[in-house]
Structure 1
Amino acid sequence: MRRARRADARPSPTPGVQRPPDTAGDLLDLRFRALLPERDWASLSPAVRHRFGKRLTQGASAVYVGHIVGMRISRLGWVVAQATRLVGSPLPLERQTGRAGVVTVTEDPDGGGQIWTRLYARASGFPQVIHSVKRFAGPTGLEEHVGAGVGMTLTVTVSDGALLFRSHSYFVDCRGHRLHLPSWLTPGALTVTHADAGADATAGAFRFILDIEHPWFGQLIRQEALFQDAETAPQDRAT
């Protein structure tokens, strides 16, 4: 006799596509949580805790879509952004707002971290694509690597319910050796903020804010974008 299928059985997920964020049974990822005191982690909203507490399976990606809602860049900030083309263009090159953006997060099978790919449309030409790898290593427990061996150690904190990633030190890896850069050779203090978008935004949306503050020249770059899970995002926005 054929055994009856359980009523609560779930179909197998499509290969390469992460299940919706509210699906029970998601793999737990304690790596970001371990970088914070328990009280700070608990103060984050459930949506933020889920995004940074869900382990992606090998071959699967989390995809977020959105657009740039705010952009300020000083003259020196523009020069710095252009200079970083030498190491993979990790800083925004587009001054205008309203441009579409896509963020993809994939598990790094070799480094034990996450591969982050950010794609931003531009007024003309090809979109800007930014690649970086977050690795759970180093003196602060978290590093971000861009091109040509350049990277930074990051500290993770919570402020007003938002998750903040702040640069601690910049470095260059070369042939197995690490050279820490003096402050005058860096663009300044970098802060990335991940926060819920607020009651007026679409459900599930969050804000991504990139800030670079130079100790002598003040704010060089501030970019703010709204993103949400690609599976729940409306499809009628023009790019």
Structure 2
Amino acid sequence: MMIPSEGELFKKILGPTWGKLHPDIQARFDKNPLPGKPLHYTGTLSELSCSRVGRLLGYLSMPFVKGALMPYNDADFPVDIQVYSRHNCAWIFKQRTYRLHARKPVMFTSYMAESPKGEVLEYVGMGLGMKLVLDVRDGNLHFESDGYFWQLFGVRIPLPDVLTPGKTFLRHRNNSANQFDIRIEIRHALFGTTFTQAGIFREVTV
């Protein structure tokens, strides 16, 4: 069985557009983490913010998907990321550890999978997830959510947009062969920007 990587999935979904990505980003996502040998990244989140509505949603969702929507405002704190695979599993897992100021570290794990229809799906826990649409702009990789869902007994049940945190926008921008920055914004149609994260990361060898 082929060891899964985000690159294999993204390459398949993007098709010829994959070639428009900066070569450093292609090389970064082409790495395949062997089971038990995760890829490690470390960095600093320069911005973590949420609106009042975002804070409410963060606290309400915490018992179910802790860390997916953080109801905090903070800045300039370290974050560690592990990307890993499991034996006989096609999913790609991503574990993030946020080391906020004056709080216990918050750990959040999601996984990415390809649907039978060839869609990129990211699951955040309790069967909750979102469909992602990929794009390349100026050589950088962009993701936009295209609907949230709750998967129950293998069936995806779409969630009304108004009942979600909002549309997710993520940009992976290359800085150098070993450094990149990430910016995430979640924007609600009625309440505006509910969550923002921005930081700079680099791969580390452990």
The alignment's TM-score, normalised by the length of structure 2, stands at: 0.88
Q: After superposition, what is the alpha-carbon deviation per residue over 1:130-188, rounded to whole angstroms, capped at 9, x for unaligned? A: 11010122545211111111111111111222111211111112233321111111111
C-alpha spacing 1:140/1:94, structure 2 compared with 1 (3 Å): farther
1:188/1:98 Cα in 2 relative to 1: closer, same or farther (>3 Å)?
same
Is the aligned partner of 1:153 residue 2:127?
no
Matched, 1:132 2:110: yes
1:103 corresponding residue in structure 2 = 81
Once the two structures are superposed, the pairs formed by residues 177-192 of structure 1 within 5 Å of their partners are 177-192=155-170
Q: Give the root-mean-square deviation of aligned CA atoms.
A: 2.1
Aligned residue number for residue 206 of structure 1: 180
The reply to whether residue 195 of structure 1 matches residue 173 of structure 2 is yes
Indicate whether 1:53 and 2:39 are aligned: no
1:110: how far off?
4.7
CA offset digits 1:82-112 (Å, max 9, x no partner): 2221322212343111111001000143540
**Corresponding residue for residue 43 of structure 1:** 20
Higher relative CO (Cα under 8 Å, sequence separation at least 6) belongs to: 2
The structure with the larger Rg is 1
Do the aligned residues in 2 keep the contact of 1:64 with 1:230 (CA within 8 Å)?
yes
Answer yes or no: is 1:94 the counterpart of 2:72.
yes
Looking at structure 1, the residues matched to 115 and 105 of structure 2 have their Cα atoms a distance apart, in angstroms, of: 31
Q: Which amino acid aligns with 2:138?
A: D
State which of 163, 173, 176 in structure 1 corresponds to 2:151: 173
1:114 — aligned with what? 92
1:79 maps onto 2:56 in alignment: yes
**2:169–2:186: 8 Å Cα contact kept in structure 1?**
yes
Shift of 1:29: 4.9
Residues 9-66 of structure 1, C-alpha deviations (whole Å, 9 max, x = no match): xxxxxxxxxxxxxxxxxx995221111131x322211221112122222221100001
Find 2:198's aligned residue among 199, 214, 224.
224
Q: Given that residues 155 and 166 in structure 1 are in contact (C-alpha distance below 8 angstroms), is that contact kept between their aligned partners in structure 2?
A: yes
8 Å Cα contact 1:107/1:114 also seen in 2: yes
Q: Deviations over 1:199-225 (max 9, x none)?
A: xxxx62111111101111211111101
- Supply the distance in 1 between the matched residues of 2:134 and 2:63 (Cα, whole angstroms): 27
CA contact under 8 A between 2:7 and 2:31: conserved in structure 1? yes
- Determine the C-alpha separation between the residues in 1 that align with 2:69 and 2:116: 23
More helix by share: 2
- Name the count of aligned residue pairs: 201
Q: Which moved more, 1:187-196 or 1:133-142?
A: 133-142
Q: Tell me how far apart the structure 1 counterparts of residues 133 and 117 of structure 2 sit (CA, whole Å).
A: 9
Structure 1 runs not aligned, ≥5 long: 1-26, 233-239
Equivalent residues of 2:6, 2:29 under 8 A apart = no
In structure 2, C-alpha distance between the alignment counterparts of 1:65 and 1:230, rounded to whole Å:
7
* 2-structure distance, mates of 1:138, 1:87: 26
Counterpart CA distance in 2 for 1:61 and 1:36 is 24
